[in-house]
Structure 1
Amino acid sequence: MTSNSLALPAPRSRALLKHPIIARYAPIATMVAALVAIWYIAAVAMNWSLVRDGFEREETTYATTDVLLGTMEAERPLLPAPHQVLEAFYDGVFGYPPLAPRSLVYHALVTLSATLLGFFLGALFGVVLALLIVHSRVLKRGLLPWIICSQMVPVLALAPIFIVVLGALGLHGLLPKSIISAYLCFFPVAIGMVKGFTSPEPLQLELMRTWSATPRQVLWKLRWPASVPYLFTSLKVAVSISLVGAIVAELPTGAEAGIGARLLSGSYYGQTIQLWAALVAAAVLASALIGVIGLIERAVARRMGAR
């Protein structure tokens, strides 16, 4: 009787571990917890000598616990602790009015505007390139290698050139940043859509020809529906790259607003906590954009009859 009663919790615990929510999010939570632990250890290791030297300069007595606590609360640490970054992020989002110059929401909106415009231009250009490549064997041989080569030059080297050339043409403000963003994000869309447009099997194409379908009908009735999964996968990659392009474009211009501007000011004045908070804001913004595309993907999939 006693042995049976002691054996009961084991199946329950196994059933709990197999719960869909726990099975789905437990690996993510474990990885996040491990990364946070490593982050704290790295913060202590990197800030230890900085805090200890501060105590010695003040010629005050200190213990090991004082140095340990100091590494968690340093004003200008080499590596801020996670709670310091979260506090700065929370203060930047909720501590000021949304359109105040010191608000992270304001800077995120500035970067978001360039990101969305660049994403739209780059995605549209990528789809058009994919259509041209699929329907022309000459363009496939002559254009596709150049599309791949265009991504071999680092954007940090190209961004100042774009800014100077576009500025000489009288283009300032949002458009140059969007063009740099579009330059980065058109590539995954073009490559993904080429794969998507060519994904129908030869038997399906032969069947469309048997029905005397025109090239336009083949495109809209067969190639486009087959390319939808590739499209949304490419868009998820492209929107994150577009955000990176918008941030990078803000660096050589010395912008006063935007996530890139926050990174610049944090670097200039040694405000590492501000710098990390801006990085967290960029990560949150990228996650939100990818989430929106995911929701649109699900809606389109339901519209097309997927379960």
Structure 2
Amino acid sequence: MNWIRTHVWPIVAVLLALIVVWYVAAAWMNSQWTLDQAARAQTTPSFGEIVADTMAQERPKLPAPHQVAYSFYDLVFDKKITSRRSLVYHAWITLSATLLGFAIGTGLGIALALGIVHNRAMDQSVMPWAIASQTIPILAIAPMIIVVLNSIGISGLIPKAIISAYLSFFPVVVGMVAGLRSPDSMQMDLLKTYNASPVQVLFKLRLPASMPFLFASLKVGIAAALVGAVVGELPVQQGGLGARLLGGSYYGQTIQMWAALFMAAILAAILVFTVARIESGVLKRLGMAR
């Protein structure tokens, strides 16, 4: 009972508060359309009629929670997963680009971190460029990447994966560099007294010490990779949650947009949770379990 009071109830309380605020915001934002319709009909609706109408509009400015929940259930459970109207179908397209981009970004980030830590020239030259690369807005560079790659015959999954890798590699670089440099001077001096080679220092000290830093970065990187995949789907409109979001904005289908947004949030939560479970297992094997 104490566990429920200390862990479950705070989450439920915040969730209920957010739902109440959401309903109030939906009623307020959607009421103008109701009032305009009443003015055209030269009628004066009651407060109850205004609230009821704002909760049931087909294309509201802000859909009510129950509208989003119904649309989400319909698009996830009532549609075949092979249908282009299914959110599961579009989520798989986004997930494929996310995982490939995350793998590329993670591999590139770890490789750059190893080079930066072991080579002073790379530390002075590569790291500033890695930082500068993150100042370019992804919405500006994503269409450029897609157009350039399409011009040389590369389309589909690869351009979106490259955009995901672009966003995910930087957290991995920063976290891995911090992790590889985390052993203190006493630990490094001890291995030097044993005449350990740089490779032995790397595998016996630096890499194990870097694991908490790496997994903290991977959680950020996997979420960033998902954002990159969604952004990469906006210009091409060939499926994916990004295409659903943009299509909904074109046709005023705000309820479907919010359903796709929730699917993206759920997908991100699953990916971060998966990384966290892997982290728990790895740290436990290394004797670092928390």
TM-score, structure 2 normalization: 0.96
Q: What secondary structure does 1:237 align onto?
A: helix
Partner of 2:194: 211
Instruction: List aligned pairs for 1:101-250, cutoff 5 A.
Output: 101-250=84-233
1:137 maps to a residue whose letter is R
Name 2:31's counterpart in structure 1.
Answer: 48
8 Å contact from structure 1 (residues 185, 241) kept in 2: yes
Q: Match for 2:119: what amino acid?
A: S
Residue from 243, 255, 268 that aligns with 1:261: 243
> What do residues 246-302 of structure 1 show as CA deviations (whole Å, max 9, x unaligned)?
00001112x231001101110110001011111000000000001111111111122
Q: Which amino acid aligns with 1:286?
A: A
Alignment equivalent of 1:37, drawn from 11, 20, 23? 20
**What does residue 276 of structure 2 align with?**
294
Question: Partner amino acid for 2:203?
Answer: W
Aligned residues: 289
Structure 1 residue identity aligned to 2:77? F
Equivalent in 34, 52, 69 of residue 69 of structure 1: 52
Structure 2 counterpart of 1:277, one-letter code: A
Corresponding residue SS for 1:73: coil
Q: Report the more deviating stretch, 155-164 or 51-60.
A: 51-60
CA distance in 1, matches of 2:242, 2:120: 41
5+ residue gaps, structure 2, are none
RMSD between superposed Cα atoms in Å: 1.3
The aligned amino acid for 2:106 is A
Which of 274, 286, 299 lines up with 2:256 in the alignment? 274
Counterpart of 1:245, as a letter, is G
Q: Percent identity?
A: 52
One-letter amino acid of the counterpart of residue 281, structure 1? M
Aligned residue type for 1:128: A
Secondary structure at the counterpart of residue 235 of structure 2: helix
Shift of 1:59: 5.1
Instruction: After TM superposition, give the deviation of residue 182 of structure 1 in Å.
Output: 0.3
Alpha-carbon separation, structure 2, partners of 1:114 and 1:33: 34
* Superposed displacement of residue 84, structure 1: 0.9
Shift of 1:24: 2.1
For each residue in 1:57-76, what CA deviation from the matched residue of structure 2 results, as whole angstroms up to 9, or x when unmatched?
Answer: 34566322111111111110
State the structure with more CA Rg.
1
